[in-house]
Structure 1
């Protein structure tokens, strides 16, 4: 069998002698068993044994010598690292790592480095067995896929690029999000909390209520001619109607294309022209902080623009967002524009499921290209469903009692994978917030956290930095806006969208999380569908600013300009070898661009367009976009 490189192998030679010495002492004190493994396996078992029998989890370790009381993770013993244990003390600039506490690891889904490596090794050595096991046991399939779990070609020299997972399997994402969870006893569990831009206005939907709303919209869409494979463009703010629309499309096999309700009419028109939707769904207006944004006006302009380019849309379903604008003040085109409230509630609250193949399209999401035309990233059903649900479950250490809040808009991939699909496939309670994070003051986020007892808070470094601010006086007041709220419900934090700089990481950890919440600093892309490199809370020590290690089934490699894989400590271009279930399948209507952009730069690999460094301990550090450099190189 081919040798597989599993990180963080560079750590083991550094810590093995220290572990051996500590284990010899601990074995005498606690009657631990003799170990007969060599190398990495021995190191891992030593770590696990020492961790399980550690009696001191309250020290702030500073280059402790090998005879000190065992810390909660033996990685603290690496001579070049300084560490603090989760929950013991704030992380300072002197601390290189934050170690998971014994209490957190004990209850975690992946409680140790050893468990992670066992699962990761299985996912790489036998991806078909690993992913088919998860797909079979945790999701409903009307019909199981055939003998081949996946098929792939990532090398343009061998023909067209192709990625397929669970092909032949028949399922439905909406059914798995709602019906399956209701059948499992979650009918009365809160599916959605909604918090308005204006304090004091809110709403809730249980899983059974959400299903009814989804079915009503699905039935309406069918009544106006939307069928399996048809596109529906969605230009909605963060109202409950946004995930309702996404799920309704999925239920009937329609392909939704959500456009961030902040893009210009020109950007919206580009997407309408490209995907040729049967219906556009929007609302009349939205309040963002004190400002009113007239969304219907933007849609009207986009529909005129697209019609001038030969693409006309006959139905514009419009939700009346009464807190932002009354319907009598909304511009209207009779015969095309229809008020949501006037038609959708009249339809039946049950709707037959359109069963689809795992490789049938689920949604289109347009991302900006480095030149001109936006790229229509196409995600299919089965692999995306399995991957987003699994990444959500493990990266956030999800528990049934969690209340989850992701501040991303559903107009971005984060809102697809980690507001709607990933959480609801796990039967989670999700919070939606319509407004601005600092309205009416910078304490609004933490007020919401306390109000709903949020346990998992996932946001962007940009928001963290805006709430943190710079300078001693500004930091003092921004900290007050956080600390005047208890935030005691929080147990896991998350970061998405860009690398989080160490100072922002430490503020997020120390101030927001009270030094007791691990941070899942996730790296992934619109194209990847879900997390690719991320810490797993409870398993690995965390380095502020590092995305840590790959998720199950992901094989990241760092290559030089010639495409040669670099080992150990290095910097270069981040690529991925072999496919994973959540990978996008093509760029809509332009497979040639798909191959040229992502697979020609380094044949045999998926090129992420990002630079990456790997340190001596195997941790990954994202360094920013490099795709323009590659584009220039390949155009010469």
Structure 2
């Protein structure tokens, strides 16, 4: 039996007591005067008056508590063919040495440090070294274009940048240093120091007087036994800034606090993810995304787990069994990835032959987030893996799951297509466009969270309080607007169907593109798909579907397109006006696996568009543009 109902009721009855108890799992240099102050900040503030340190809780306390020789960080790199492991004691030495190097360069409490790194253990050590000093890190996805990096440098005004000579994306080497140098040249906020990790595959030239060789300076500090103390910071002190694209094109710097963030992450590790200290937890993401912050770096280490830093892809490094090799080789118990990664694996290996090659007996659950998990993906994963497959939903802004299936409290029935139930801390309310709660279950609306927000959820945007208020709280007073559309069923399960921007208006009917994608994905020949709304002179908008076929499918794509149109008509009805299904070789995605529907829609509508900074392969949009152009007048309509 799941304990979820009782635990959620306990939170509802006494939110302050609930999080006060959860905070006992954290080491505090000084406890809070108030667990929650409703008068502080925009909507309140957690753990007012408390002093703490994130690095101390992630590393130092485990060494002091007898976990010095336990594995902390595993770097698995198919890109280089190497695996490197660090115990908690070894990680502490690395972090302390880097922190001493940064301090020698003048970095202290409140200073910003930009981290522009590939998936290497030094990226995690850099984050922890900043936390150790009370500095505020801002991780920018490695390989971001110079212009985008420069915008972030100018907004954060870092005293130092930590980077690498290059990153490895599959078989492609991406030179970071030229991108970094150009970004610094473009920016007005010049960093004093750049610490550069030289990688064997492609070393770079260093600029005298500005650049430091990471291995040299950290190695010298380690040899001399140099480290630093963990600087006490207020619970409300920013731990990091993480930039997320805004609708205006100007990035939003999401700010994360320290004390509330630790409390929430620690709670989720055992209660939501069902992980135990000493086990191996793997989030197959990137440190540049919020998942990388919360569940590659901080969450697993706060909980005393080993975390995996994976420098590879779900397919192609070398094959569709790459993830299963990592799970088997390192004894992963809890695995977290994006639905798009599983869909890519299923496309290459629809029968799951690679899964059979590996011993996955230690894995207890697979967690999916980042995009909506369609029922077909859930069913395929559960069938092939034989473990609970949990879709869950959260955002950069929240920093930890909003809804899910709390495995640690006992698995609830899984409803494929749903992202689960609200976790303690979140009261989910579906509102209509006028801001009224929707009483009827399974009715599409604006998904909101009733204020106050729980610990760890962003208290603001960097240097942009008015934008924070207007973007998230002005539309529905008393609620946080998630900008996601969905519905809540009679059992309290939440179904996230699309971003509110992706809800299309067809002849006056508000329709979810996510619901149509769910129908397309149910076809056994379809590996993955996307539906967008295209401008229509008669109906306002009409849906257009794009689908990728599984390997080995021999049925002509035109026939499958006809079948998909009929499926949507049968399951959603003629009201969807779904008549265009277009086969494509691949969909445009960010490196974290999000499908770039907004850019596709601009292309389809003939609007100006810019190359997204985080796109995995820019050539894909050219392919999409060509296909849309050929079919704009109905050429391949089914």
**TM-score normalised to structure 2 length:** 0.76
Looking at structure 2, the residues matched to 199 and 253 of structure 1 have their Cα atoms a distance apart, in angstroms, of 33
Alignment partner, residue 250 of structure 1: 131
Alignment partner, residue 369 of structure 1: 246
Alignment of 1:406 with 2:287, yes or no, is no
Equivalent of residue 602 in structure 1, options 452, 476, 479 = 476
Alignment partner, residue 26 of structure 2: 139
Alignment partner, residue 212 of structure 2: 338
Looking at structure 2, the residues matched to 190 and 442 of structure 1 have their Cα atoms a distance apart, in angstroms, of 27
Deviations 1:345-404 (A, max 9, x none): 222343111100001110000000011200000011110110112112211111234211
Deviations 1:255-302 (A, max 9, x none): 000001132111111100101000011000122221111011111111
Alignment of 1:164 with 2:38, yes or no, is no
Looking at structure 2, the residues matched to 556 and 260 of structure 1 have their Cα atoms a distance apart, in angstroms, of 31
Q: Where do residues 393-432 of structure 1 align in structure 2 (5 Å cutoff)? A: 393-432=270-309
CA RMSD of aligned residues (A): 1.7
Q: Where do residues 131-210 of structure 1 align in structure 2 (5 Å cutoff)? A: 131-135=19-23, 137-146=24-33, 148-152=34-38, 161-198=42-79, 200-210=81-91
Look up the SS of the partner of 1:318 in the other structure.
strand
**TM-score normalised to structure 1 length:** 0.76
Deviations 1:125-179 (A, max 9, x none): 21111101111x2111111111x2112369xxxxx72331001000101101111
1:532 offset after TM fit, Å?
0.7
Does the Cα contact within 8 Å between 2:275 and 2:281 map onto a contact in 1? no
Does the Cα contact within 8 Å between 1:128 and 1:150 map onto a contact in 2? yes
Deviations 1:572-608 (A, max 9, x none): 0011112200110111111000000000010010110
Look up the SS of the partner of 2:463 in the other structure.
coil
Deviations 1:63-122 (A, max 9, x none): xxxxxxxxxxxxxxxxxxxxxxxxxxxxxxxxxxxxxxxxxxxxxxxxx33x21111111
More displaced stretch, 121-130 vs 165-174: 121-130
Look up the SS of the partner of 2:250 in the other structure.
coil
Looking at structure 2, the residues matched to 127 and 355 of structure 1 have their Cα atoms a distance apart, in angstroms, of 26
Q: Which structure ranks higher in relative contact order (CA pairs < 8 Å, sequence separation ≥ 6)?
A: 1
Does the Cα contact within 8 Å between 2:337 and 2:369 map onto a contact in 1? yes
1:505 offset after TM fit, Å?
1.0
Equivalent of residue 549 in structure 1, options 399, 410, 421 = 421
Alignment partner, residue 475 of structure 1: 350
Looking at structure 1, the residues matched to 494 and 293 of structure 2 have their Cα atoms a distance apart, in angstroms, of 25
1:629 offset after TM fit, Å?
7.8
Does the Cα contact within 8 Å between 1:357 and 1:381 map onto a contact in 2? yes
Does the Cα contact within 8 Å between 2:278 and 2:304 map onto a contact in 1? no
Does the Cα contact within 8 Å between 1:124 and 1:554 map onto a contact in 2? no
Equivalent of residue 130 in structure 1, options 5, 13, 18 = 18
CA, structure 1 residues 152+262, in 2 after alignment: closer, same or farther (shift >3 Å)? farther
Alignment of 1:620 with 2:494, yes or no, is yes
Does the Cα contact within 8 Å between 1:195 and 1:432 map onto a contact in 2? yes
CA, structure 1 residues 134+331, in 2 after alignment: closer, same or farther (shift >3 Å)? same
Look up the SS of the partner of 1:456 in the other structure.
strand
Structure having the higher Rg: 1
Look up the SS of the partner of 1:621 in the other structure.
strand
CA, structure 1 residues 449+377, in 2 after alignment: closer, same or farther (shift >3 Å)? same
Looking at structure 2, the residues matched to 217 and 629 of structure 1 have their Cα atoms a distance apart, in angstroms, of 47
More displaced stretch, 549-558 vs 250-259: 549-558
CA, structure 1 residues 349+204, in 2 after alignment: closer, same or farther (shift >3 Å)? farther
Look up the SS of the partner of 1:469 in the other structure.
helix
Looking at structure 1, the residues matched to 134 and 501 of structure 2 have their Cα atoms a distance apart, in angstroms, of 34
Look up the SS of the partner of 2:382 in the other structure.
helix
Look up the SS of the partner of 2:246 in the other structure.
coil
Alignment of 1:518 with 2:388, yes or no, is yes
Matched residue pairs, number?
Answer: 496
Deviations 1:170-207 (A, max 9, x none): 01011011111222221111001111134641111001
Alignment of 1:116 with 2:4, yes or no, is yes
Alignment partner, residue 341 of structure 2: 463
Structure 1, unpaired ranges of 5+: 1-111, 155-159, 631-636
Does the Cα contact within 8 Å between 1:366 and 1:377 map onto a contact in 2? yes
Look up the SS of the partner of 1:178 in the other structure.
helix
Alignment of 1:560 with 2:432, yes or no, is yes
Structure in which a larger fraction of residues adopt strand: 2
Looking at structure 2, the residues matched to 188 and 181 of structure 1 have their Cα atoms a distance apart, in angstroms, of 10
Does the Cα contact within 8 Å between 1:197 and 1:288 map onto a contact in 2? no
Deviations 1:29-73 (A, max 9, x none): xxxxxxxxxxxxxxxxxxxxxxxxxxxxxxxxxxxxxxxxxxxxx
Does the Cα contact within 8 Å between 1:195 and 1:202 map onto a contact in 2? yes
Does the Cα contact within 8 Å between 2:276 and 2:303 map onto a contact in 1? no
Looking at structure 2, the residues matched to 152 and 296 of structure 1 have their Cα atoms a distance apart, in angstroms, of 46
1:535 offset after TM fit, Å?
0.5
